[in-house]
Structure 1
């Protein structure tokens, strides 16, 4: 086995373990928390997770720029003093920004519980944004082991505290949020330890730091806005669901989204390792790798959709109070197909090819479409079913137009593959909506078998592609 493949597999093993444990923790929390807390408390907890997912974007592209500029570099060769000054300026900036947000919200809010949610989400942001500078630097310089441990410490601490609180009957949403913040705090301490040269040390002259910040923001702002727009595609729909149908319905739909998104934890593990590796890969080999990985990914993901029926049966019996929302699981389950492809393959390739501007354009187009569709389905039609179905449609639209662009750059034809993906997704949604187990299970299994037969030649090429990869011909 060549050294390059050995390093990739070793790094992947670190992220695999960390993200696999994170996925197990997420599954357990998804199953346990709604069982022991009220639907309204679960709604506020999900609202905190929703808000805190946006606080991480208060770096204004600084950390994203570091990730792009230093991707593939060696950690030992970094100009550490420049990172130290950027880190502490980012800390001070975020304290100021979130203080203003908290004061502004308190002066205008009427829901006391939402005030608590916003306050704690801002505290989370103060912790997460500076840590992202360290995380991105570790990822970019291929220190995947340390990055994985940071994530693992956060998730394990969070999980243990949630279980302890629930065990002692502390079952309100505030304690769940405190558990999350405590986990983030402990992970930051470890991040400080493994990258202390980026936190403590002599700082350069201010003009050097400002020039570096300007460059990083200039490079990273497009990626940050692209990622933020990506989050808004679903975020806009979720925001208006909460506004129109309330916190409790928001929580129930969020539970279904969380179940559908569990596979993304594993997919993100792959993309973390893939980016610095592709940055070191020749342009000629990128097309071969893309086609091979796309085939592997889609065959696996469509196969995993079979898990819907046992999951729906188990969850309906375990969480009877959420049976009403679990009927939407069949509509949302396929979202992992398009989100996974976009996150792991398409966006990773766009970043590798330094086409962040196109990623931004595709995401902004889809955000505008999301806003338009949401207004129609919620405020004109007032139809929750169509609103939820629109999430999958929007993610599919963004994935397809982005992949068509990547395929044009790589000079490969993927239109046929996209048509098969759309057909099988529509078949799955239709079958799960109209047919229960076991007939629905059998019908989808037949469709998936036909899909495998059609893709048999591409599946056969996977073995050839892996042989090329293992010999180091990339």
Structure 2
């Protein structure tokens, strides 16, 4: 086994172990919280999760710029004094933002629970952004072991305390939010202990440091806007659901989305290490690596759809109060395919080629389409099923558009694969939605085997390339 592959395998093992751990906690939380909190409290908790997913954008591309700029560099080669100064300036800036948001929430939002959630979100946002700053530096400089360690730390603390409080009878969603803030704060403190040389040191507040900050923002702003647009693709639909139906409906749909996204934990184990590795790779090798990764990933992802029906039966028995919403898994389960491919391959490669502008355009087009479909399905037709179906359509559209743009850059033809995969996705959705019994599983397995047979040549070639790479 060559040294390079051994290093990659070690990094994947670190992140995979961390993500498996995180996934197990996510699974347990997904199953336990709705069981003990009740539908209304769980729905407010989901609203908090919805809000907290957007706080990372309040650094306005600052951290993204650092991530893109130093991707592939060695940690020891960084100008530590610059990052010490930026850490503390970022800290002050985010506290000001959190204060403004909290004042707005208290004075202008009449719903007491929603106001409380927004205040807690703003506080948690400061902690989250500072930890992201440190974690992105670790990730982009290929310190994957430390990155993986401090990524899972807060989830472990969170899990233990939530179980303890639920056991003691604290079944109010507010206690869960307090625990989330506390666990993130402890994880931040521990992460600071690992990266003392970029937190504590000489602070320079001069023209040069502000020029550096503005340069990082100018580099990262397109990536940040692309990420905002990416999240809003689903966010606009969820916002429409939250406004047009009650909080319980929002919570039930959110639960189904969470279950459908659980597979992303596995994919993120590989996606985390991809960017620094690709930045160090010869550009001429990237198309071959892409083909190998794509063939492996799609084979795995479409195989995972087989577990939909057994999972639905188990969840319906465990959470009978959510049985009506779990039916929507038939529509939403394929989002793991498009989100995984987008995260691991399309976005990572576009960032490696420094094509953030294309990422922004692709996501902006998809966001505009999301707004149109939300208006039609939610506000004009008042159709929840159509609104949920639009989510998988939008993510599929964005992924296909992104891959077409990327593969043109690398001069790779993937149209046959896109047609095959779209057909397999439609077969899964139609059989699961209209048949909705064990026969839907048999139908999908038959078509999946046909897909494998059609792809047999590419699969063999991928295995040969992989073996050659390992032995080099």
After TM superposition, the structure 1 = structure 2 runs for residues 194-343 of structure 1, keeping only pairs within 5 Å, are 194-343=194-343
In structure 1, stretches of 5+ residues that fail to align are none
| Cross-structure match for 1:464 | 464
| Cross-structure match for 1:94 | 94
After TM superposition, the structure 1 = structure 2 runs for residues 450-461 of structure 1, keeping only pairs within 5 Å, are 450-461=450-461
Q: Give a deviation string over 1:277-315, Cα, whole Å, max 9, x none.
A: 111111111111111111111110100001100100000
How many equivalent pairs are there? 472
Q: Shift in Å at residue 246 of structure 1?
A: 1.8
Q: Could you tell me how far apart the structure 2 residues matched to 1:159 and 1:386 are?
A: 35
SS in structure 2 of the partner of residue 170 of structure 1? coil
Q: Could you tell me how far apart the structure 2 residues matched to 1:465 and 1:41 are?
A: 51
SS in structure 2 of the partner of residue 58 of structure 1? helix
Q: Shift in Å at residue 193 of structure 1?
A: 0.7
Q: Could you tell me how far apart the structure 1 residues matched to 2:347 and 2:238 are?
A: 23
SS in structure 1 of the partner of residue 245 of structure 2? helix
Q: Give a deviation string over 1:170-227, Cα, whole Å, max 9, x none.
A: 0111011112111111110111011111110012351121011011111111111111
Q: Could you tell me how far apart the structure 2 residues matched to 1:252 and 1:127 are?
A: 28
Q: Give a deviation string over 1:111-169, Cα, whole Å, max 9, x none.
A: 11111111111111010111111111000101111111111111101111110111011
Q: Could you tell me how far apart the structure 2 residues matched to 1:174 and 1:465 are?
A: 52
Q: Shift in Å at residue 467 of structure 1?
A: 2.2
2:4 corresponds to 1:28 = no
Q: Is the 8 A contact 2:73 2:141 kept in 1?
A: yes
Q: Could you tell me how far apart the structure 2 residues matched to 1:336 and 1:35 are?
A: 24
| Cross-structure match for 1:150 | 150
Q: Is the 8 A contact 2:85 2:205 kept in 1?
A: no
Q: Shift in Å at residue 252 of structure 1?
A: 0.4
2:413 corresponds to 1:408 = no
SS in structure 2 of the partner of residue 57 of structure 1? helix
Q: Could you tell me how far apart the structure 2 residues matched to 1:33 and 1:410 are?
A: 45
Q: Give a deviation string over 1:14-66, Cα, whole Å, max 9, x none.
A: 10110010000000111111111110000000000000110111111111011
Q: Is the 8 A contact 2:223 2:356 kept in 1?
A: yes
| Cross-structure match for 1:353 | 353
| Cross-structure match for 1:118 | 118
Question: What's the TM-score once normalised by structure 2's chain length?
Answer: 0.99
SS in structure 1 of the partner of residue 58 of structure 2? coil
Q: Could you tell me how far apart the structure 1 residues matched to 2:212 and 2:300 are?
A: 42
Q: Is the 8 A contact 2:85 2:203 kept in 1?
A: yes
Q: Could you tell me how far apart the structure 2 residues matched to 1:205 and 1:240 are?
A: 44
Question: What's the TM-score once normalised by structure 1's chain length?
Answer: 0.98
Q: Could you tell me how far apart the structure 2 residues matched to 1:446 and 1:190 are?
A: 50
Runs of 4+ in 1 over 4 A off after TM superposition: none
Q: Could you tell me how far apart the structure 1 residues matched to 2:67 and 2:344 are?
A: 16
Q: Shift in Å at residue 105 of structure 1?
A: 2.0
Deviates more, 1:299-308 or 1:460-469: 460-469
Deviates more, 1:137-146 or 1:463-472: 463-472
Q: Shift in Å at residue 99 of structure 1?
A: 0.8
Q: Could you tell me how far apart the structure 1 residues matched to 2:409 and 2:55 are?
A: 34
Q: Shift in Å at residue 2 of structure 1?
A: 1.5
Q: Shift in Å at residue 468 of structure 1?
A: 3.2
SS in structure 1 of the partner of residue 57 of structure 2? coil
2:11 corresponds to 1:19 = no
Q: Could you tell me how far apart the structure 1 residues matched to 2:163 and 2:301 are?
A: 31
SS in structure 2 of the partner of residue 188 of structure 1? helix
Q: Could you tell me how far apart the structure 2 residues matched to 1:437 and 1:248 are?
A: 27
After TM superposition, the structure 1 = structure 2 runs for residues 162-173 of structure 1, keeping only pairs within 5 Å, are 162-173=162-173
In structure 2, stretches of 5+ residues that fail to align are none
Give RMSD over aligned pairs: 0.9
